[in-house]
Structure formats: structure tokens, C-alpha cells
């Protein structure tokens, strides 16, 4: 994996782009947690694709989050990044918040997104099946919420530092405030910014993948997306939680290869 | 010195096993715990106490805004202040305050504060808090990272609405109004004195200095821990080369007065315990939504009042820990006087928000402690800032001298 930077728009935001692998172009949009260290999903996808994974402003070394306030800002930003990357008919893959952004891109600009893969996307709300409130969770609660195998989640989410060290804690809090502060603009307090009324516009061939044990956005949402996007296919992955791509990267890669 | 008797209006019937049964006093505490018929008497007892505080000589009486909680039962402090305008006549009404980012449109605050100022004859102190994260983000749904921008815009609108004598258009990002036309207008011109509750961010220091607002640190952890934060404020005041009037700052202090130190522990110990262990029992996940505080503020290392509370080991703190650590100033009038003086001088504050009702304290004890403070402590603390003649016009109310009679024009 290597990183490079794009400079974007009148505000000159600096966007960090992680790239890995060779093959057909695949644009990957991360979820609210950002990339993991040695991200297992990016690593696995890059065995078969050229993965291009931009970081949203507020994440990693990407800047410009103050200029993004609402869903339209974020969607247009993502389309600007896609245009600047000059990819060849990429498969646009988005996880969770990234799935919400990918679906918005495909709905707002159907001619720009021909192949769409949504991994447990956010963006819909069903009163009978409320999405858990990720913002009020404490760090130690996240592995069980995001993974079927909590122990694996704890290992993958390990922050790589000691929370009792005040300097590390401060860095962690700053990083968390930047990332989830940005995510909150489209996910807080309810991750619904009207996507449901735009999904009909999607013309991309669409694959939806859901962890069968998703405790954050229950799998019933997979059916709601499938119903709203014509011709889409839903694949459920057994023994996987919300971080389906990180918990079962090989199964997700197989589903993508099979569909596209 | 200006002393404001401040009420939080907590729910006083949280059970003994409250901490075990509930993760938080705020946000997700089931409202079935609230009993409206009991609430009726409680509200009136609390309002009576505020009126009593005026009678015994406090300069101000204070209320504030919180939501979805048993810590403070004033979702609308303006309703409480309105009742107080009718039965008080001297004390400043310190509404600390209205969380201006939460009102839609925020013009509502300009209007209601103007109503209060007119009703009270110019006795309103207007507080503009950002609001706790529990209130602002979790209970009222404001997006954390946009809270401060929304707050700044609301502040701009309110000040313009008070200042203007003609309708004007306001094209904000969050509020768009073709006709801003504030009827009524406040008696105090151009605006009532404005107090800003703050928790250590440099941006708020500058905001207060730029606008000549009083910086109010509302803490329950006492002046020893507040020292660092207030030193930061005064350092900023010095850097900005404005005068160092102590009335630029205020501090909230838990106070218990009895005839002797031992009597104070006996009388107030259980209620102090109720306050620290039930009223401040906040789930850490609600204390500070990511994005609520700026990166700059986090980098200064300042933790929110409630994050600190969550991190502290209040259940294991004894009366001795709380009083010796000066979380609570408690004891005989002489003990309280000494410690109050030390607090006021250490922090350099002209305003003190006195918390003399705590948790589930019964009315007779509240009045006993209040009366002792007013009669045996307060008079000895009046002249701690002789250079300022116990007053700074910029940071206190300007009441009307007398009520103007309404004379209908005879046809």
C-alpha cells in the first residue's frame, strides 16, 4: 500500500489516496472508522484489483472537513475526487458511511457510477429496526458492536497505544473528534439524509453485501436497499458483523469477483 | 462582589440504588421516574427558595437550561424566570442561560429575553451557553461538529435583532429570515449584561473579551482544580491588553453553612453525596460527543466538566475528601468565609454562583444554610475588590428606577 495526495477545489483541500494492487480499477470508500492499520479489506481486494482508496476530509492526512457540512457537500466532494482520479470504469465500493456516500454518488450522478458495491451501507432508517447509536459508544464497546467475532475485532481495532498515557490519549481524542466529527455531519443523530427518495435514480449494476450478524445496521436493511435499487443483488456473509469486509475479506472479494 | 443564588432544580427522588440500576442521569433515563404530582410541589418549593434568596440579600437569583435529565428540571428556564419577575423586585434574574443553538429560529431567545427584561424592569442577566453535549447533541439532536458554527450565527442574529430599530433581513447558513423584527425589545440597551458559561476553550476566552461578556466557569470540582483554567483566562485577558476587572469572570461553588464544621457534615453530608453520586452520574459516552469540542480545545487538554465527573471516583470520596479538596466549601460561617475569600482571590472572580441547594436537600436545611451565608458570610466578602467599588457597570444589570404608569389617552 502506498499513499499519494490530490489537491482539490477552490479551498485546496489535500486528499490522501491510498493505493494498492494491480488490475481493474476499484474505488474504495471507507466507513466512519476510516482505514485500519494494514487494512485487511484493502489488502485482500488488492490481490485482484487496483484499489484506490481516498480518505474523507477529517480522516488520516486529508484536510478540508470544515467546508463539508451536509450530504450534498460530501457527495459532490466524492464525485470531485472520482473525477480527479481519472479511473477506468471503476467498481465503486463503499462500506457503511462510505456505502451511503457511494449510493448517493450513484443516485446523483448515475452516468459516473456504472458498477456499485455497497457493504452494509448506512443511509436508511427503519423505525422498527433502529440503527445503533455509534456516537455514544465507548471505545471498548466497539469490537462487539462491529464484529461477529469480538476477539478478532479487539485485535483489529487495537489502537496501537496506551490509553493511560495522556499524550497518546490526547492524540486519540483529536483523531476521534476529527473523524467522527466529520462522520456526524451525515450520520448524527440519525443516519438518514433522504437517500431513500433518491435510490430509484441508481442505474449502476449493484451488489449489496451484508454481514449476517450485523449488530450496528441489522441485515433487514439489506433487503430495504435491494428493494429500492432495481436489479440489485444481496449477498449475506455468515459469521460476519458490520465490519463485514474486515472480518471476512475473502468472502467479500469472492462476491465482488462473482458479480462484476 | 456579586452573589447569585443558583438553583439547578434536580429531581430529589432518585432511589438509593440509582447508580446500579441506571447508567446515566441524563439522556436515556426513563421518564417514568418523574412523578408530575410530586413535581408540582417541588417546582414551587424551588421557586420559593429563589424568592427567599432575594429576601435575605443575594444580588442575583439564577436558573439554567437542561434537557432529558433528572439533574436539572428546567428545559425552559425562561418560564421559571418569568414567575420570578412577578414576586421579586430587586435581585438580578440570572438566566444562565438559553442554549441559543437549539432554538429555531434563535430569534426566539431575543424575544423571550426581551420579554423577561421588560417584565422584570431591566433585571435580566442573559446567559448564552453552548449547552452540554448531553443536552445539545444527544437530547436535541444538533450535529456536534456544527454546534459552534450554529451557536455563533445564533449569537449574531440575537445581537442584531436587539440592536436594530427597523426590520432587516438575515441570511444565515442555519437561519434565513426575510423580516427580523424583535418585539418587544429589552429595557437594557444595547443589551442586558451577557454571561458565557465556558469550560476552558481559548475561543470562548476571546469571544468574551471581544464582546465584553463575563466568562462563567460552572464547575463542581471546586477552585483548586479551577485554578489552572482561570489562570489561562486571565493570561488571555492580559495578552489582549484589556482591563482585569474581576467581574469579567464568575465561578460556581457548592457551599454548605452550619453553626459548626461538624454540624455542616451532619446536616448536609447526605445531600452532597446525593448530588455528586446521583445528579452527576453521567454515562461517559454522553459527556462529549465527537466533534462537540474543537480540536484546538482538546489539544489544550481541557476535559469537559462532565467527562471529568465521569472519570472521578465520586462514589468513594468521603465528606473529608470533598471538603479538604475544596470541591465543597462547607463548615461554620468562619470556615466558609475563609475558604470563599481564598477561592475568590485565587480565581479572581467578581461573580459567584452559589449552589446552596443540593440534590435532595429539604427546604429547612436549604434556608438555614442560605440564611447563615447571607447574614454571616456574605457581608464579610463584599469588599474584596476595593479597586472596583464592588461593582462593574458593564457586567451587571441596570434596572429601571420606578415603574412608569400606563395612562390611556382620554378621548
Query: Dihedrals φ, ψ of B338, to 5°?
Result: -60, -45
In this prediction, residue A211 carries a pLDDT of: 98
Return the higher-pLDDT residue of A70 and A37.
A70
In this prediction, residue A140 carries a pLDDT of: 87
DSSP string for A181-226: HHHHHHHSSSS-SSGGGTGGG--SEEEEEEETT-SSS-THHHHHHH
Q: With 90 as the cut, is the pLDDT of residue B228 above it?
A: no
- Mean pLDDT of all residues in A180-188: 98
Name beta bridge partners: B36.
none
List the one residue out of B250, B249, B300, B309 whose CA is nearest residue B277: B309
Count how many domains chain A has: 1
Q: With 70 as the cut, is the pLDDT of residue B395 above it?
A: yes
In this prediction, residue B301 carries a pLDDT of: 67
Return the higher-pLDDT residue of B280 and A164.
B280
ω into residue A42 within 30 of 0, thus cis? no
Hey, is the C-beta of B291 within 8 angstroms of any chain A C-beta? yes
Q: Where are the beta strands (DSSP E) in A9-87?
A: 13-20, 24-29, 49-54
- Compute the distance between CA of residue A225 and CA of residue A233 in angstroms, rounded to an integer: 10
The b/e string for B345-373 (b: 16+ C-beta within 10 A; e otherwise) is: ebbbbbbbbbbbbbbbbeeebbbbbbbbb
- Mean pLDDT of all residues in A179-190: 98
* Residue of chain B minimizing CA distance to A142: B285
Q: Are A14 and A3 in contact (CB under 8 A)?
A: no
Indicate the average pLDDT of chain A: 95
Structural domain including A63 reads: 2-259
Which residues of chain A make contact with B306, given a CB cutoff of 8 A?
A: none
- Mean pLDDT of all residues in A107-115: 98
In this prediction, residue B198 carries a pLDDT of: 85
- For residue A135, the distance in angstroms to the closest alpha carbon of chain B comes to 6
Question: With a threshold of 0.80, does the pTM exceed it?
Answer: yes
- Mean pLDDT of all residues in B324-346: 97
Model confidence at B302, pLDDT cuts 50, 70, 90, reads low
Name beta bridge partners: B217.
B198, B251
Q: With 60 as the cut, is the pLDDT of residue B305 above it?
A: no
Q: Is A41 helix (H, G, I), strand (E, B) or coil?
A: helix
Q: With 90 as the cut, is the pLDDT of residue A241 above it?
A: yes
- Mean pLDDT of all residues in A188-215: 98
Is B143 in Cβ contact with A136 (below 8 Å)?
Answer: no
Percent of chain B scoring above 70 in pLDDT: 96
- Compute the distance between CA of residue B357 and CA of residue B9 in angstroms, rounded to an integer: 8
Which residues of chain A make contact with B141, given a CB cutoff of 8 A?
A: 188-190
List the one residue out of B259, B357, B379 whose CA is nearest residue B5: B357
Tell me, letter by letter, the H, E, C secondary structure of chain B.
Answer: CEEEEECCCCCCCCCCCHHHHCCCCECCCCHHHCCHHHHHHHHHHHHHHHHHHHHCCCCEEEECCCCCECCCCCCCHHHHHHHHHHHCCCCEEEECCCCHHHCCCCHHHHHHHHHHHHHCCCCEEEECCCCCHHHHHHHCCCCHHHHHHHHHHHHHHHHHHHHCCCCEEEECCCCEEEEECCCCCCCCCCCCCEEEEECCCHHHHHHHHHHCCEEEECCCCHHHHHHHHHHHHHHHHHHCCCCCCHHHEEEEEEEEECCCHHHHHHHHHHHHHHHHHHHCCCCHHHHCCCCCCCHHHHHCCCCCHHHHHHHCCHHHCCHHHHHHCCCEEEECHHHHHHHHHHHHHHHCCCEEEEECCCCCCCHHHHHHHHHHHHHHHHHHHCCCCHHHCCCCHHHCCCCCCCCCCCCCCCC
Q: Are A184 and A135 in contact (CB under 8 A)?
A: yes
In this prediction, residue A142 carries a pLDDT of: 92
Model confidence at B409, pLDDT cuts 50, 70, 90, reads low
* Residue of chain B minimizing CA distance to A166: B301
- Mean pLDDT of all residues in B254-283: 97
In this prediction, residue B313 carries a pLDDT of: 79
- Compute the distance between CA of residue B325 and CA of residue B341 in angstroms, rounded to an integer: 16
Percent of chain A scoring above 70 in pLDDT: 99
Query: What domains, with CATH codes, occur in chain B?
Result: 2-395 (3.20.20.30)
Is A189 in Cβ contact with B138 (below 8 Å)?
Answer: yes
Assembly ipTM: 0.95
The CATH number assigned to the domain holding A40 equals: 3.40.50.1820
- Mean pLDDT of all residues in B164-172: 98
Q: With 60 as the cut, is the pLDDT of residue B411 above it?
A: no
Percent of chain A scoring above 90 in pLDDT: 88
**Closest Cβ opposite residue B301 in set A170, A179, A181:** A170
Burial class (CB in 10 A: 0-12, 13-18, 19+), B86: exposed
Query: Residues of B numbered 300-319 whose beta carbons fall under 8 angstroms of chain A's beta carbons: which are they?
Result: 301
- Mean pLDDT of all residues in B199-227: 90
In this prediction, residue A31 carries a pLDDT of: 98
**Closest Cβ opposite residue B285 in set A136, A173, A189:** A136
Q: Which of A225-229, B164-168, B213-217, B298-302 has the lowest mean pLDDT?
A: B298-302
- Mean pLDDT of all residues in B269-288: 94
Model confidence at B366, pLDDT cuts 50, 70, 90, reads very high
In this prediction, residue B311 carries a pLDDT of: 63
Name beta bridge partners: B358.
none
Return the higher-pLDDT residue of B291 and B390.
B291
Model confidence at A11, pLDDT cuts 50, 70, 90, reads confident
Model confidence at B276, pLDDT cuts 50, 70, 90, reads very high
Q: With 60 as the cut, is the pLDDT of residue A36 above it?
A: yes
- For residue A92, the distance in angstroms to the closest alpha carbon of chain B comes to 28
- Compute the distance between CA of residue B68 and CA of residue B28 in angstroms, rounded to an integer: 7
List the one residue out of B159, B132, B293 whose CA is nearest residue B218: B132
- Mean pLDDT of all residues in B179-184: 98
List the one residue out of A85, A96, A114 whose CA is nearest residue A18: A85
Indicate the average pLDDT of chain B: 94
In this prediction, residue B403 carries a pLDDT of: 79
Percent of chain B scoring above 90 in pLDDT: 85
Is A181 in Cβ contact with B291 (below 8 Å)?
Answer: yes
Q: Which of A101-115, A147-161, B137-151, B376-390 has the lowest mean pLDDT?
A: A147-161
- Compute the distance between CA of residue A191 and CA of residue A99 in angstroms, rounded to an integer: 12
In this prediction, residue B408 carries a pLDDT of: 65
Q: How many CB pairs under 8 A join A and B?
A: 64
Is A173 in Cβ contact with B291 (below 8 Å)?
Answer: no
- Compute the distance between CA of residue A58 and CA of residue A40 in angstroms, rounded to an integer: 21
Q: With 80 as the cut, is the pLDDT of residue B312 above it?
A: no
Q: With 80 as the cut, is the pLDDT of residue B306 above it?
A: no
pLDDT digits (tens, 9 = 90+) for B145-160: 999 999 999 999 999 9
Amino acid at each position: 500500500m502506498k499513499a499519494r495526495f490530490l489537491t482539490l477545489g477552490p479551498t485546496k483541500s489535500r486528499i490522501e489516496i491510498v493505493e494498492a494492487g494491480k488490475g481493474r480499477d476499484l474505488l474504495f470508500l471507507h466507513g466512519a472508522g476510516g482505514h485500519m492499520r494494514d487494512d485487511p479489506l484493502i489488502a485482500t481486494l488488492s490481490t485482484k484489483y487496483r484499489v484506490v482508496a481516498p480518505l474523507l476530509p477529517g480522516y488520516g492526512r486529508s484536510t478540508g472537513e470544515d467546508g463539508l457540512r451536509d450530504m450534498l457537500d460530501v457527495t459532490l466532494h466524492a464525485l470531485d475526487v472520482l473525477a480527479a482520479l481519472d479511473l477506468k470504469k471503476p467498481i465503486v465500493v463503499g462500506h457503511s458511511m462510505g456505502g451511503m456516500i457511494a449510493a448517493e454518488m450513484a443516485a446523483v450522478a448515475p452516468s459516473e457510477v456504472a458498477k456499485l458495491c455497497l457493504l452494509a451501507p448506512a443511509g436508511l432508517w427503519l423505525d422498527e429496526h433502529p440503527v445503533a447509536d455509534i456516537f455514544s459508544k465507548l471505545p471498548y464497546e466497539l469490537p462487539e458492536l462491529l464484529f461477529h467475532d469480538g476477539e478478532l475485532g479487539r485485535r483489529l481495532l487495537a489502537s496501537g497505544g496506551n490509553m493511560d498515557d495522556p499524550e497518546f490519549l490526547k492524540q486519540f481524542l483529536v483523531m476521534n473528534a476529527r473523524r467522527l466529527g466529520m462522520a456526524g455531519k451525515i450520520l448524527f443523530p440519525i443516519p438518514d439524509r433522504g437517500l431513500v427518495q433518491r435510490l430509484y435514480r441508481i442505474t449502476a449494476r449493484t451488489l449489496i453485501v451484508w454481514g449476517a450478524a450485523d449488530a450496528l445496521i441489522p441485515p433487514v436493511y439489506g433487503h430495504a436497499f435491494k428493494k429500492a435499487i432495481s436489479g440489485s443483488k444481496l449477498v449475506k456473509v455468515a459469521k460476519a458483523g458490520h465490519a463485514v469486509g474486515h472480518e471476512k475479506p475473502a468472502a467479500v472479494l469472492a462476491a465482488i469477483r462473482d458479480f462484476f | 462582589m456579586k452573589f447569585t443564588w443558583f438553583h439547578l432544580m434536580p429531581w430529589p427522588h432518585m432511589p438509593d440504588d440509582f447508580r446500579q440500576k441506571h447508567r446515566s442521569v441524563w439522556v436515556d433515563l426513563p421518564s417514568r421516574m418523574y412523578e408530575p404530582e410530586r413535581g408540582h410541589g417541588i417546582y414551587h418549593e424551588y421557586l420559593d427558595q429563589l424568592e427567599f434568596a432575594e429576601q435575605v440579600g443575594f444580588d442575583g437569583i439564577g436558573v439554567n437550561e437542561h434537557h432529558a435529565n433528572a439533574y436539572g428540571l428546567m428545559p425552559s428556564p425562561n418560564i421559571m424566570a418569568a414567575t420570578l419577575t412577578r414576586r421579586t423586585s430587586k435581585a438580578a434574574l440570572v438566566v444562565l442561560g438559553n442554549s441559543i443553538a437549539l432554538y429555531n429560529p434563535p430569534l426566539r431567545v431575543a424575544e423571550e429575553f426581551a420579554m423577561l427584561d421588560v417584565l422584570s424592569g431591566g433585571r435580566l442577566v442573559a446567559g448564552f451557553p453552548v449547552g452540554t453535549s448531553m443536552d445539545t447533541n444527544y437530547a436535541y439532536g444538533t450535529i456536534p461538529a456544527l454546534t459552534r458554527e450554529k451557536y455563533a450565527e445564533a449569537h449574531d442574529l440575537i445581537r442584531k435583532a436587539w440592536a436594530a430599530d427597523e426590520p432587516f433581513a438575515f441570511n444565515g447558513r442555519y437561519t434565513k429570515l426575510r423580516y427580523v423584527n424583535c418585539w418587544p425589545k429589552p429595557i437594557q440597551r444595547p443589551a442586558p449584561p451577557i454571561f458565557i458559561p465556558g469550560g476552558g476553550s481559548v475561543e470562548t476566552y476571546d469571544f468574551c473579551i471581544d464582546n465584553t461578556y463575563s466568562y462563567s466557569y460552572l464547575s463542581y470540582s471546586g477552585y483548586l482544580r479551577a485554578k489552572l483554567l482561570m489562570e489561562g483566562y486571565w493570561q488571555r485577558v492580559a495578552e489582549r491588553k484589556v482591563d482585569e476587572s474581576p467581574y469579567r469572570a464568575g465561578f460556581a461553588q457548592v457551599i454548605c453553612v452550619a453553626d459548626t464544621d461538624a454540624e455542616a457534615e451532619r446536616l448536609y453530608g447526605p445531600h452532597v453525596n446525593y448530588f455528586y453520586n446521583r445528579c452527576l452520574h453521567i454515562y461517559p459516552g454522553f459527556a462529549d460527543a465527537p466533534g462537540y469540542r474543537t480540536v484546538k480545545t482538546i489539544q489544550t487538554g481541557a476535559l469537559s466538566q462532565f467527562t471529568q465527573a465521569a472519570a472521578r471516583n465520586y462514589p468513594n470520596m468521603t465528606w473529608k475528601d470533598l471538603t479538604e479538596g475544596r470541591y465543597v466549601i462547607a463548615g461554620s460561617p468562619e470556615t466558609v468565609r475563609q475558604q470563599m475569600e481564598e477561592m475568590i482571590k485565587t480565581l479572581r472572580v467578581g461573580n459567584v454562583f452559589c449552589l446552596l441547594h443540593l440534590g435532595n436537600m429539604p427546604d429547612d436545611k436549604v434556608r438555614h444554610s442560605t440564611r447563615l451565608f447571607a447574614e454571616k458570610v456574605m457581608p464579610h466578602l463584599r469588599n474584596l475588590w476595593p479597586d472596583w467599588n464592588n461593582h462593574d457597570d458593564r457586567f451587571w444589570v441596570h434596572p429601571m428606577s420606578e415603574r412608569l404608569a400606563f395612562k390611556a389617552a382620554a378621548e
